[in-house]
Amino acid sequence: MSSRLLAPGIALAAVAADATGIHGLAFWLVLLALPIAAAAAFVGVSDALVGEGALRGLTASLALVLLVLGSAVRENAPRGGHVPALAVSSVVMALLCYGIPGLLWVLEPLRSVRTARPTPRASRA
């Protein structure tokens, strides 16, 4: 598994654990995803500073913020109660942030390609 896919993979496993009702495992998976997401955000920001494109750094940083938010909301939720909707939706939004560069990569061939138009010549009169 590529290191770029590790944080979204763990976050996806946390969402799956929440969907099956294993909320304790989902909590620990979100905590496990935090340092990996931080490393991905650091690499993305460093790539942006070098000039290799800022989109991956921006989306990875936003996903890190959302994972931290989801982890904080989960930690402050009462034990044995329902998981707050903000905790689950922030992890889902982090997954969407991780998917934006891939979506734009898939849609890249659909961009309109500008072709050079021949310039009209002045008629000789």
pLDDT digits (tens, 9 = 90+) for 31-43: 999 999 999 899 8
Q: Which alpha helices (H) appear in the chain, and where do they start and end?
A: 3-20, 23-50, 55-75, 85-107
Cα–Cα distance, 66 to 76 (Å, whole number): 16
List all residues 6 or more positions away from 58 whose beta carbon is below 8 Å from its beta carbon. 44, 48
Q: State pLDDT tens for residues 59-114.
A: 999 999 999 999 999 888 888 778 888 999 999 999 999 999 888 888 887 776 65
Are 103 and 96 within 8 A, CB to CB?
Answer: no
CA distances from 10 to 1, 107, 119 (A): 11, 26, 55
pTM here? 0.80
